[in-house]
Amino acid sequence: MSERVVIALGGNAILRPHQEATYENQLENVRSSSEKIADIVEAGYKVVITHGNGPQVGLILQQNEEAKEVVSPFPLDVCSAESQGLIGYMLDQSLKNELRKRGLTQQVVSVLTQTQVSEEDEAFLHPTKPIGTFYSEEQARQMIQKKGWNMQEDAGRGWRRVVPSPQPQSILEAETIMGLVESGAIVIASGGGGIPVIRQTDGTIKGVEAVIDKDRSGRKLAEEANADIFMMVTDVQNVFIHYGKPEQQALGHISMEEAKQYVQEGHFSTGSMGPKIEAAISFAEQGKYTIICSIEDAVSALRGIAGTHIS
Ligand SMILES: Nc1ncnc2c1ncn2[C@@H]1O[C@H](COP(=O)(O)OP(=O)(O)O)[C@@H](O)[C@H]1O
Ligand SMILES: NC(=O)OP(=O)(O)O
């Protein structure tokens, strides 16, 4: 039986740090990622796709805020929904085109996904999720003063706006997503971690202003989809210890215990590599397998010869 892999595509792989945020640049990145995803499909894996939205949701939010004198701005959960539509559309279209080119007949479908979070989550008081553009420290100070943004340095790449990132509790459309996966379709779901919603006392759902980490939601999706492998595709080839320092060292195959040890030693930044390792550890706790790699290495990583593997 073919193995099932949930691929989580990083928002920064769709729009690279410091790359101009045009639609064309993002479409080209998504198009080349789709070639690699099609390679994985062709290699015989059953594929479920999720994706980040950090750069995109930040830009949509900024577009809303900049135009607020002319057009009423939308809240962050709506911007999240917009980013899911934007990226889902690009991925869906690019993958359909790539599969068609190769004579592959799998259906591709993108599901608008809402993820339940708790209103009580401490994360609402401590924003940690980097979104939007990268700024210099001086520009960041101006943004904090002029716009009242929360800003943090993001893993040595520059300063970014940060917003609350509550823990995902459940994926509301999980059953429908599973039905589509079982039908043999390639499903794109839980984009940007899913649109964050809370369940109110009367049972209705309502959007909340946050951005969920797609690696945390991706791990939930991988559990729901009963995936054999959870693959987080990002803009580095490996996870490193002593990242960004002269003594940095790439990790190949490590155990869950080693991963926990490295977390304790503080090797992974919150808001970037931290949540990926956290997701890998909880997936490994269920006896499952996680890979963190670049999109270029995705096929070799599945063969075990590239990327970081946590089991
Ligand atoms: N220990 C580490 N090893 C590798 N990358 C790290 C580490 N700590 C922080 N990072 C940063 O994590 C980034 C990937 O996380 P993130 O930006 O959230 O990716 P994505 O948007 O692709 O999910 C890398 O570009 C790197 O700058
Ligand atoms: N939502 C989310 O985790 O996006 P990134 O992968 O772009 O950070």
Residue range 160-180, pLDDT digits in tens:
999 999 999 999 999 999 999
Please report whether residue 197 resides in a domain.
yes
307 carries an active-site annotation: no
Indicate which CATH number applies to the domain containing 253. 3.40.1160.10
C-alpha separations of 101 from 92, 97, 187, 250, 311 in Å: 14, 6, 19, 36, 35
CA dihedral 85, 272, 5, 98 (to 10 degrees): 50
Which of 46, 220, 276, 288 is catalytic? The answer is 276
What is the CA(1)–ligand 2 centre distance, in A?
32
Residue whose CA is at the smallest distance from ligand 2 atom 1? 192
Provide the number of structural domains found in the chain: 1
129 carries an active-site annotation: yes
Q: Judge if the beta carbon of residue 196 lies within 6 A of ligand 2.
A: no
Please report whether residue 129 resides in a domain.
no
Q: Strand 151-153's sheet: what is its strand order?
A: 129-135, 159-163, 151-153
Mean pLDDT value across the chain: 95
Pocket test for ligand 2, best of 7, 9, 12 (most atoms within 8 A of CB): 12
Please report whether residue 179 resides in a domain.
yes
Prediction pTM value: 0.96
| Number of CB atoms found within 10 A of residue 310's CB | 24
**What is the domain extent for residue 36?**
4-56+76-115+171-201+210-310
pLDDT digits (tens, 9 = 90+) for 61-86: 999 999 999 999 999 999 999 999 99
C-alpha separations of 25 from 15, 97, 135, 237 in Å: 7, 18, 19, 21
Please report whether residue 147 resides in a domain.
no
Query: How far apart, in whole angstroms, are the C-alpha atoms of residue 207 and residue 80?
Result: 10
CB 193 within 8 A of CB 213: yes
Give the ipTM of the model, two decimals please.
Answer: 0.98
Query: How far apart, in whole angstroms, are the C-alpha atoms of residue 115 and residue 198?
Result: 8
Percentage above 90 pLDDT, the chain: 93
Please report whether residue 148 resides in a domain.
no
156 pLDDT higher than 90: no
pLDDT at 1: 67
pLDDT digits (tens, 9 = 90+) for 248-293: 999 999 999 999 999 999 999 887 899 999 999 999 999 999 999 9
Segment 15-43 mean pLDDT: 94
Please report whether residue 284 resides in a domain.
yes
154 pLDDT higher than 90: no
